[in-house]
Amino acid sequence: MDFGPFLLLALMEGLVTAAVLALTAVGLALVFGVMRVVNVAHGEFFMLGAVAAWFVTTWIPGPPAVGFIAALVLCPLLVASVAALADTLVLKRLNYDPDATIVATIGLLYILQQAALSLYGPDARPVEAPFTLRVQFPWFGYSGYKLAVIVAAALLLAGVWLLLARTKIGLVMRATQIDRETARAFGINVDRVYAGVFALGAGLAAVAAVLIVPIQQAHYLMGHDPLLLSFIVVIIGGLGSLRGTLVAALLIGLSDGVISVFFSPTLAKILATLFVALVLVFRPQGLMGRRAA
């Protein structure tokens, strides 16, 4: 294959990575933006979504599409309720103190990982794609499902944007983000907003996982990479800036695709992690953030 088509393939792989990454990272960015909580367990919510998708698609009989759509609806709801529970039982009682919440979410990470290992087992298991379609390009054939993932992620992200910018729920969330005390004085139930935001963030990670699981198998340690990449994206984009997060997801996803195809996935991750560390050191507000976090 010539260089041109090879690059196109790399870019398309990168676009799939970017789509899923954007969903996961927006969840993390929302939680950090509104609650100022660095959720180290975010990757485990992703993993939980994928593992739950395997259970749902295995239990529901009939064609794969039915089970998959059920998983797409049920798994994020399930993961969101786990997150809301964790918020009420743990984070709220810590008063959202930054150091303490990081330690607590590390604890949560281990608990969720162990739960998955005990209930689901150490094996990686595949989930069947809802449809199999091969899109034929002049140089190579490409999975139609992967293209569908890109479209679905774009639609979901548009939905999140609408929710934040055009609805009362979004207004309340933004008000809480800007000034928690004033929001409380205006009768906003801040506790419920926080629980809701934490659940929404986890739910977004779970949706991303359900979308990716027909491409990448479900495994109890799969939360590691999405967590790291989401951190990278959220920081490069500017902590709490959603637009920056999207741009950074595209940047990191595409470069990950290209470097992984031409060099090695490990090198791609090393470069990305070093890049993010340096961004934080020299430009703490992120590439697109406006003020220091």
Answer yes or no whether residue 123 interacts with another protein by CB under 8 A. Answer: no
Q: CB within 8 A of 226, min separation 6: which ones? A: 20, 21, 24, 42, 43, 46, 205, 208, 209
Answer yes or no whether residue 98 interacts with another protein by CB under 8 A. Answer: yes
**Given the rule CB under 8 A, which of 51-59, 135-143, 198-206, 261-269 is the region that contacts another protein?**
261-269
Answer yes or no whether residue 85 interacts with another protein by CB under 8 A. Answer: no
Binds another protein (CB under 8 A): choice among 110, 139, 186, 262? 110
Continuous H helices in the chain: 3-35, 42-59, 64-86, 98-120, 144-166, 168-178, 180-185, 190-212, 224-237, 242-262, 265-282
Binds another protein (CB under 8 A): choice among 94, 147, 190, 215? 94
Q: Which is nearer to another protein, 28 or 246 (CB)?
A: 28
* Chain centroid offset of residue 127 CA: 19
Contacts of 92-99 with C-beta under 8 Å, sequence gap 24+, read 92/191, 92/194, 92/195, 96/35, 96/36, 96/37, 96/194, 98/36, 98/37, 98/38
Answer yes or no whether residue 117 interacts with another protein by CB under 8 A. Answer: yes
Answer yes or no whether residue 73 interacts with another protein by CB under 8 A. Answer: no
Answer yes or no whether residue 64 interacts with another protein by CB under 8 A. Answer: no
Answer yes or no whether residue 147 interacts with another protein by CB under 8 A. Answer: no
Residues contributing to the site for another protein (CB under 8 A): 38, 90, 93-94, 98-100, 102-104, 106-115, 117-118, 228, 231-232, 235, 264, 266-267, 269-270, 273-274, 276-278, 280-282, 284, 293
